[in-house]
């Protein structure tokens, strides 16, 4: 049974949801790791969950990126270990330098909490359970989710197939009206150069049980567990 570390920061509020999805629903050995820890405890994968780490003071994810546990996460990622950052976790990964770009305030300057559709753009360790260009219905809940990067970075991400998820309409078509936050290139998630670190704004952990509204996120977390087994 793979061991998955779920990080906890002051202000995290999706850590319990993530732990439940990975442990009770999908059967992995999910365990919490507090932000002050210098040692992850030899997990097979790491999840940086959503929430409002350190109250989003200074900038979303900025303070958490400098916490002791993130030094261990950087080392884990550099060894090729699978890392998933969800919402605030995506923000933390960009602030930590594990992923390029940044997450800025939504175009509408308001908190967005609703279901959106995203399209699986390229095969990766995290999307192996979906057909290419599959359209997923996933929840979002963020105020700073607008992905931004310079043009050279955007071209590199597109050219190297590192855009993992893109905001689309329910029929899979790219449409500015389907982009909930104004993300450049409608980017909802990206991977690092190895494809072993994924940052995404939608919440797959909230979409693993049909009784709670849908299970389109289940494949992402199952793929994380599979990647943990292979790591």
- 115-135 tens-digit pLDDT: 999 999 988 999 999 998 999
- Residues taking part in catalysis: 87, 203, 205
Helices (H), the chain: 15-19, 68-78, 88-95, 151-159, 218-230
CB 53 within 8 A of CB 25: no
Structure tokens belonging to residue 46 = 């790491």
Identify the pLDDT of residue 86: 99
Per-residue pLDDT of 152-195, as tens digits, reads: 999 999 999 999 999 999 999 999 999 999 999 999 999 999 99
Question: Is residue 231 over pLDDT 80?
Answer: no
**pTM greater than 0.75 (yes/no):** yes
Confidence of residue 56 (pLDDT cuts 50, 70, 90): confident
Is domain 3-230 annotated with CATH 3.40.50.880? yes
CB 117 within 8 A of CB 169: yes
Structure tokens belonging to residue 58 = 């200074």
Identify the pLDDT of residue 35: 96
- Burial class from Cβ neighbours inside 10 Å (0-12, 13-18, 19+) for residue 189 reads buried
Where do the structural domains in the chain lie, given as residue ranges? 3-230
Residue 188: which H helix or E strand, with range?
Answer: strand 187-191
Confidence of residue 58 (pLDDT cuts 50, 70, 90): confident
Cα 47 to Cα 86: distance, rounded to the nearest angstrom: 8
Query: Strands 3-8 and 29-34: what pairing?
Result: parallel
| Average predicted confidence (pLDDT) for the chain | 96
Identify the pLDDT of residue 1: 81
Cα 50 to Cα 42: distance, rounded to the nearest angstrom: 22
Identify the pLDDT of residue 226: 94
Identify the pLDDT of residue 203: 98
Question: Is residue 213 over pLDDT 90?
Answer: no
């Amino acid at each position: 049974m793979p061991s998955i570390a779920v990080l906890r920061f002051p202000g995290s509020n999706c850590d319990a949801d993530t732990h439940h999805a990975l442990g009770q629903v999908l059967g992995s050995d999910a365990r919490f790791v507090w932000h002050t820890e210098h040692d992850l405890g030899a997990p097979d994968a790491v999840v940086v969950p959503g929430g409002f780490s350190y109250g989003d003071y200074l900038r979303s994810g900025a303070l958490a990126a400098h916490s002791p546990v993130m030094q261990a996460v950087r080392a884990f990622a550099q060894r090729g270990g699978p890392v998933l950052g969800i919402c605030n976790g995506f923000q933390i990964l960009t602030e930590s330098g594990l992923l390029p770009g940044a997450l800025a305030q939504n175009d509408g300057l308001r908190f967005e909490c609703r279901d959106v559709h995203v399209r699986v753009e390229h095969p990766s360790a995290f999307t192996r359970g979906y057909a290419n260009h599959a359209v997923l219905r996933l929840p979002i809940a963020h105020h700073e989710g607008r992905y931004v990067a310079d043009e050279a970075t955007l071209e590199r991400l597109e050219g190297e197939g590192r855009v993992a998820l893109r905001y689309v309409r329910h029929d899979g078509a790219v449409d500015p009206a389907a982009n909930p936050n104004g993300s450049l290139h409608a980017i909802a998630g990206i991977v690092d150069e190895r494809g072993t670190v994924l940052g995404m704004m939608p919440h797959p952990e909230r979409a693993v049980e049909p009784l709670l509204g849908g299970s389109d996120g289940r494949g992402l977390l199952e793929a994380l567990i599979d990647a943990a087994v292979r790591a």
